[in-house]
Amino acid sequence: MRTWIRSLQDEHVAFTGTAWLKRSELQGIVRKRGGFPTSGAKVALDTTVLVRGDSSVWAFGDHGTKERHAAHLVSKGVAISLVYDSEFRKLVEHGKPARVADRIAGDPVLWLEPSTEQQFKRAALKVGPLDQEHSVLGRLEQSYLRQRLFRGAEQAACALCGRHLPVGLLIAAHVKPRSECSRRERLDAQNIVFGLCLLGCDALYERGLIAVGESGRILISTVQPDAVLTPFLQRFSKRTCRAWNEATADYFNWHRTRRFQGSKKVA
C-alpha cells in the first residue's frame, strides 16, 4: 500500500464525485503531467489512482459505485490508491505529495488487500493483543482471517444476531481472546474467529454480556440489570450461534467460563 503520490507520470487516474474543477479540466491536467485519464473516468483493472470528490447522493451512503468497485478490485490484488480531491489539489497546484487514503468504501485498505499465509504466520508470532485496525500486523492478520471467513462475499450474517450485513460492518472476532491464545490457537484460522457485527454484538461478546453454551445456545448475562440493556439482551435468549461446532466448542467454553458475566460473583 502506498502512502503518498508524488507524481502523475504513468498513473491511470479515475474520478468519482464532484471536485473543485470540472472533470474534463482535471483529465487535461492528468494528461499534461504524463498520466492517463481512464475511459469515461471509470475504475478498471489498469486504474492506479481514484480521485474522490464530494457528493450528497452516494449510492452506498458514504461512497459511490466506483469506490465500491475499486474496493472489490483491491480485494482481488489490484493496486488502486484512493486520493481525496483536497490532497489531489495539493499535488497538481502546489507540487506537494498527495496523501493516499487508508480506507476504501469504508474498509481499511489493509483489510482488503490480500494477505498471504506467510504474512499471517508472521503476525501470529506476536504474543498478546493486536490492534486490528491501526497496526500493520493487526491489519495483515485481520485481512487473512477475513479472507478465510467471508470468502470474498459482499454480505454475510453475524454469527450472534443473524443479521445479514455488508462485510464492512462485520469483524473476524476471536472466539477466545487473542491475548489468551497459544501460538497454535492463533494459527487456527479455520476455527479461532467468527463473524460478529460492529452494531453491538462484537462489544457484547467481548465484554462478556453474551456467551455461547452447549450446542451453540446463546447465553445472556443477568448480572447487570438495566432498563435499556436487559430488553436488548433478551433478543438473543432463544438464538443459537451458527459458528459453534466441535472444533470451536473449546474456544467458546473458554470464553464462557472466564469472561461471561453469567452469575454474580463473590468479592
CATH for 52: 3.40.50.10190
132 within some domain: no
Band the pLDDT of 124: cuts 50, 70, 90.
confident
Question: Are 195 and 251 part of one and the same domain?
Answer: yes
142 within some domain: no
pLDDT tens-digit map of 218-228? 999 988 777 78
- Higher-confidence residue of 210 and 140: namely 210
Domain interval for residue 28:
4-110
Question: Which of 110, 128, 144 delimits the end of a domain?
Answer: 110
For residues 2 and 79, what is the distance between their CA atoms, to the nearest angstrom? 9
Residue type, 201: C
192 within some domain: yes
Would you say 121 and 145 are in contact if contact means Cβ atoms under 8 Å apart? Answer: no
Q: Is 131 exposed, middle or buried (0-12, 13-18, 19+ CB in 10 A)?
A: exposed
Determine the 3-state secondary structure of 121 from DSSP.
helix
115 within some domain: no
123 within some domain: no
Question: Which of 95, 110, 125 delimits the end of a domain?
Answer: 110
141 within some domain: no
Question: Are 244 and 157 part of one and the same domain?
Answer: yes
Q: What is the pLDDT of residue 132?
A: 54
Question: Are 24 and 106 part of one and the same domain?
Answer: yes
Q: Which residue has the cell 481499511?
A: 108
- The strand ranges marked E within the chain are 4-5, 12-16, 36-37, 49-52, 81-84, 98-99, 103-104, 107-108, 155-157, 164-166, 170-174, 193-197, 210-212, 218-220
Question: Are 105 and 157 part of one and the same domain?
Answer: no
For residues 126 and 17, what is the distance between their CA atoms, to the nearest angstrom? 41
Would you say 100 and 133 are in contact if contact means Cβ atoms under 8 Å apart? Answer: no
Query: In this structure, are strands 98-99 and 103-104 parallel, antiparallel, or unpaired?
Result: unpaired
Averaged pLDDT for residues 104-121: 83
Residue 6 pairs in a beta bridge with none
Question: Are 104 and 158 part of one and the same domain?
Answer: no
Question: Are 16 and 86 part of one and the same domain?
Answer: yes
Averaged pLDDT for residues 88-109: 93
Question: Are 86 and 167 part of one and the same domain?
Answer: no
Q: Which residue has the cell 502506498?
A: 2
For residues 12 and 77, what is the distance between their CA atoms, to the nearest angstrom? 16
Question: Are 252 and 194 part of one and the same domain?
Answer: yes
Question: Which of 58, 88, 110 delimits the end of a domain?
Answer: 110
In total, how many domains does the chain have? 2
For residues 78 and 73, what is the distance between their CA atoms, to the nearest angstrom? 5
pTM of the model: 0.72
- Higher-confidence residue of 195 and 134: namely 195
Would you say 243 and 220 are in contact if contact means Cβ atoms under 8 Å apart? Answer: no
Band the pLDDT of 161: cuts 50, 70, 90.
very high
Report the range of poorest mean pLDDT among 37-51, 137-151, 178-192, 202-216.
137-151
pLDDT tens-digit map of 178-194? 999 999 999 999 999 99
For residues 21 and 214, what is the distance between their CA atoms, to the nearest angstrom? 61
Rounded to the nearest 5 percent, the helix, strand and coil shares of the chain are 35, 20, 45
246 within some domain: yes
Question: Are 158 and 248 part of one and the same domain?
Answer: yes
Question: Are 73 and 170 part of one and the same domain?
Answer: no
The answer to whether residue 254 scores a pLDDT higher than 90 is: yes
140 within some domain: no
Question: Are 80 and 177 part of one and the same domain?
Answer: no
Rounded to a whole number of angstroms, the CA Rg of the chain reads 22
